[in-house]
Amino acid sequence: MIQTKLIPRTTEAHEPPMLIKNLLAQSLKYEPQREIVYRDLFRMNYVEFNRRVRQLANTLTDLGVGPGDTVAVFDWDSHRYLECFFGVTSIGAILHTVNVRLSPAQILYTMNHAQDKVVLIHEDFLPILNAIKDQITTVDTYVLLSDKVYADPNAGGDVPAGFSGEYEALVKGASDQYEFPDFDENTWATTFYTTGTTGNPKGVYFSHRQLFMHTMGLLTYIIGYEAMSFKGSSDVYMPITPMFHVHAWGFPFLATMMSAKQVYPGRYEPELLLKLLITEGVTLSHCVPTIMNMLVNSPAAQKYRENLSRWKVLIGGSALTKGLAKAAMDLGITISQGYGMSETAPVTAIVYLNEQEKQLPIDEQIDLRTRAGRVSPFVEMRLMDDDGNFVPHDGQSLGEIVVKCPWATQGYYNDPERAAELWKGGWLHTGDVASITPDYWVMIADRTKDVIKTGGEWVSSLDMEDALSQVEGVAESAVVGLPDDRWGERPHALIVQKPGFNLTADSIKAGLQAKVEQGELHKWYVPDRIVFVPEIPKTSVGKIDKKKIRSEMKDLILGTVV
């Protein structure tokens, strides 16, 4: 960095650090009467919420939690979790949002790795805890989170042996006076674990400053620019991606700062989600395509058209298809896609239609709305080739997305090797291959490890699979790149055909050839070899296992005579 002249500071002059408590403080100023709702079980306004966050801070302090200690939470989306977002962090402790979808062995690994000291756990997850409790090395205190107390205030006394108490009882018994201290804005605020295809889960982590800035970035984009037609403080927010997954994409911090009404649905149950959506007047959510798909196909959807038409939803996690976008928009839902990852806290792109694009017919809008989005405010995004050179933003050239932004994890906890790989050359490497247009649209093509590098060009295996899916009779396909002496790599395809068809490699190539002639495909995209298989290898979470295909099926593929 170049040397400049810094502002001089008078001895007693004060400049506040950017802390999560400063987001919280705004919730009391303007619309503190707005509510935070938990299922059909509990509701409170922001005055009460601020009191409870302080009661939680006192509870934790009484349990021995101090600055730098890690508090692990196992919960569905709840007001309690929101209280932890603010209460745990504002005393200088670290919030570990446990990914309850990992296997018990992985959860155990993350708890020991993060050095959890106190665990707050919902009763639904006690079976997991019981399976691993003996091997947990650093936890000394357990607190039960129970939904039963909302029906029966006395239910809280009934906690498992070794537990220090039940959350509601502890919080209600604590003082609501707590002056949150100032501390360094680079203080560690949250941590959680992300899994790849190999190796142990990796711990990402975020500072107060980073979460503050992520909130400012969201604010600038979705409220300032109305990227989601979000109107600000008067919207009603309900998350439908878990709070343990990248802090529910950071929205709870923004919604709290804006004292917007918030609705926490607990465990996701389609009927309850829909009920809350209607009765609480929800206008803003985020979810993965699967949930949206379930909702638009629910028989109730048509019935509640009017309510759905005020609903704005950010889609992420996996690609939004045009069909789903269309179905949602036909119901009046304003749908936008976003792009990000655990390492980027997460938002780095969201769909934004500019003045001209808003005038486009709905089908053309859908083409845009199903892109990964436009690069978010304060995010610098580039495309990089294998040699670390930047690739032009021409909407065509492919490169790995690399980013710099004020909310990127600065490493993986206690994992210097993978951290150095993530930050190679001073840019965060996403592992996603994309093109970017001159007007900042991002179009994801593939994962870096799956992109096929042939004759100096990058070919997206996903684009190829998309093209193959349009050949009549193809039920499923997987395209991988395998080494080739002349071209470096060449694409090859596995095909599952639909019953009753009798496809051949030639008939499929003929189908693709039509696209080549129409200029939709480059001729070097056409796979060299096409192999028919009864079934395509998948990973445990149902994704095509291209790594396995490349290693274990290589000989089969290359041995195939086309």
Q: Which of residues 52-111 bind its own copies (CB under 8 A)?
A: 67-68, 92, 94
Smaller CB separation from its own copies, 305 or 404: 404
Q: Which of residues 194-223 bind its own copies (CB under 8 A)?
A: 205-207, 210, 213, 216, 219-220, 223
In the window 21-50, what residues touch its own copies (CB under 8 A)?
22, 25-26, 29-33
Of 224 and 483, nearer to its own copies (C-beta) is 224
Instruction: Please indicate whether residue 117 is annotated as part of the active site.
Output: no
Catalytic residue among 61, 138, 194, 195: 194
Side-chain-side CA neighbours of 229 within 13 Å: the count stands at 17
The verdict on whether 453 is a catalytic residue reads: yes
Verify binding: residue 233, its own copies, rule CB under 8 A. yes
To its own copies, the closest distance from the beta carbon of 143 in angstroms equals 22
Say if residues 300 and 274 touch (Cβ distance below 8 Å).
Answer: yes
110-126 as b/e: b if 16+ CB within 10 A? bbebbbbbbbbbbbbbb
The least CB distance from residue 465 to its own copies, in Å, is 31
**Cross-strand partners of 299:** none
User: Is the C-alpha dihedral spanning 307, 311, 315, 319 positive or negative?
Assistant: positive
Query: Using the rule CB under 8 A, is 389 a contact of its own copies?
Result: no
- 181 or 323: CB nearest its own copies: 181
Q: In the annotation, is 194 catalytic?
A: yes
Quick one: tokens of 152?
A: 């029966």
The answer to whether 405 contacts its own copies (rule: CB under 8 A) is yes
Q: Which of 40, 380, 520, 552 is in the footprint of its own copies by CB under 8 A?
A: 380
Q: Which residue has the tokens 């509870």?
A: 59
Q: In the window 438-477, what residues touch its own copies (CB under 8 A)?
A: 439-440
Across the chain, which distance is largest between two alpha carbons, in Å? Answer: 83
- Of 223 and 480, the one with the shorter C-beta distance to its own copies is 223
- Cα 424 to Cα 428: distance, rounded to the nearest angstrom: 7
CB of 439 to its own copies, least distance (A): 8
Whether 111 and 72 have beta carbons less than 8 Å apart is answered as yes
Q: Which of 8, 500, 534, 542 binds its own copies (CB under 8 A)?
A: 8
Instruction: Kindly state the tokens that stand for 40.
Output: 């059909």
E strand map for 101-157:
116-122, 141-145
The reply to whether 358 belongs to the active site is: no
> Which of 378, 487, 524, 532 is close enough to bind its own copies by CB under 8 A?
378
**φ, ψ (nearest 5 deg) of residue 351:** -60, 130
CA distance 314 to 333: 10
Sole binder of its own copies in the list 102, 131, 419, 496 (CB under 8 A)? 419
23 alpha carbon, distance to own chain's centre: 21
Q: Which residue, 374 or 546, is less far from its own copies as judged by CB?
A: 374
Least distance in Å: CB of 237 to its own copies? 13
252 binds its own copies (CB under 8 A): no
CB closer to its own copies, 425 vs 499? 425
Q: Using CA atoms, how far apart are residues 418 and 336, in angstroms rounded to an integer?
A: 32
> Catalytic one among 453, 509, 547, 548?
453
Q: Which residues of 267-300 are buried (b: 16+ CB within 10 A; e: fewer)?
A: ebeeeebbbbbeebebbbbbbebebbbebbeeee
Q: Which residues are catalytic?
A: 194, 343, 453, 458
